[in-house]
Amino acid sequence: MSEKTEAVLRKEPQADYRITLDGRDLSRLIAPNLISLSLSESRAEEADTLDLVLDDSKNTFAIPKRGAAIKVAIGWVGETLVDKGTFTVDEVEHSGAPDIITIRARSASMTEAMHERREQSWHAQTIGAIVSAIAGRHSLKPAIADALAKIVIAHIDQTHESDMSFLTRVAKRYDAVMNVKDLRLLFMPIGTGKTASGKALSVLNIVRKSGDQHRYHISQRESYAAVRAHYHSNGQGKRKSVIVGGENNHNVKVLPEDYATEAEARAAAEAEFARTQRSQATLDYTLALGQAEIFPELPVTVSGFKAEIDDTPWLVKKATHAIGEGGFTTALELEVRDDPVSERHRSNFRKVG
């Protein structure tokens, strides 16, 4: 084997990216001046964020205006880059010496208007109708899982509450993902391993040697045997409750809100029970070679750790892709994967007068 061939085989993979600002491709201008790029994708109500840190010691860059649109794709040289969507510049800082520009941007469409408080009552509306109405108000395209879209909410008030906060509350009640990503308002069940359209997600298989950092954590703090939710019986006004969980009720978490119907109380109890089960074990893991195609809600299996870790089905809660001096890495926050409304949960549902 020639020295040239050996050099090619030894060559480390190189991170690659494409960054446009208001439609102008700045990748070549940024390349020699990039200190770091960090892109965090979260399942929660918080916006996906992009952080760019640039060397401006040669006065290369103009300070971008707040509200400017940044479109980002990341990956490896020689491979197709993964489009990570459009972000809106939210914060800019110029510091020195040496001069550095730090830019923070949020998911496009996670606008200030979505955080403005408003008053509205929703009566006898499906989740699909509610989400679609709010999406339309902000020029977003709704993407709602069929299983959630058909659920009818008897009555719910949005009192001095932003659309973002309100939808987050509804999502929590039904153990759903609510987020805005690239002009789409997403609303889908957590941990089902499917997209909003029902397409199955492929399972990501991770081996321990693929990374150099991990942290496995078990907590009994949220280890409840059951969850109780109260509702008012129609006509009688009598306060009743439902319990979801194990057979013994010595360690029961009681939800503070009273619900309008038995069905809504049951959904809330099932959602909270599923949440407590997922949060009992977590795994943080950093891939030495980043994988841009990883995103929240992707199902994961791992191997090469302790048996308890390897035997657990995992779910991506948050993914942070970072490009800098250390190359391109992907840090994952994983939680236990389970069908949030499994037959096991349904069989443990009880109504209490």
Measured distance CA(30)–CA(55) in Å, rounded: 9
What confidence tens digit (pLDDT) does each residue in 228-245 have? Answer: 888 877 656 678 888 887
Residue 281 has pLDDT above 70, yes or no: yes
pLDDT of the residue at 54: 96
pLDDT of the residue at 5: 45
Q: Which two tokens stand for residue 329?
A: 């890495």
pLDDT of the residue at 246: 65
Measured distance CA(20)–CA(27) in Å, rounded: 7
Angle formed at CA 167 by CA 166 and CA 169, multiple of 5 degrees: 65
Select from 274, 285, 319, 294 the least CA-distant residue to 217: 285
Measured distance CA(258)–CA(243) in Å, rounded: 13
Find out whether the peptide bond into 32 is cis, omega within 30 degrees of 0: no
269, containing H or E segment: helix 262-279
pLDDT of the residue at 329: 95
What confidence tens digit (pLDDT) does each residue in 294-307 have? Answer: 988 899 999 999 99
pLDDT of the residue at 325: 86
Bridge partners, 53 (sequence order): 36, 102
What confidence tens digit (pLDDT) does each residue in 177-222 have? Answer: 888 776 788 888 887 776 666 677 788 999 998 887 889 988 765 5
Average pLDDT over residues 56-72: 92
Percent of the chain with pLDDT over 90: 37
Bridge partners, 42 (sequence order): 318
